Amino acid sequence: HGSNIWFQREAKDLLPEGFTSEHSPNGKFTKETDIMDVWFDSGSSHQGVCAERDYLTYPADLYLEGSDQYRGWFNSSLITSVAYSGHA
């Protein structure tokens, strides 16, 4: 189906049959609509965290991540930083 399935199906159709959650006792679920892309959203967080807080340095002196993230989160962070500010 590809990523467009998110827009083509209802929330109930994306969950396993019989799925329940204590957070939705009526069994009704809604899809999140304010995330553009998880890697873009998390990768651009440096702008909302480091750049907007005077007590933090921007750009950051150190960037820590899991070994499984360097192709997703780190690259997204690098690309969005260079696109926005012209530097890493």
pTM of whole model > 0.75?
no
**DSSP class of 74:** I
Q: Looking at residue 55, what is its pLDDT?
A: 94
Length of the chain: 88
Q: What is the mean pLDDT of each run of 10 residues along the chain (88 residues)?
A: 87 91 89 81 87 89 79 86 88
Provide DSSP, 29-66: -----S-S-HHHHHHTHHHHHTTT-TTS-SS-S-----
pLDDT for position 56 = 92
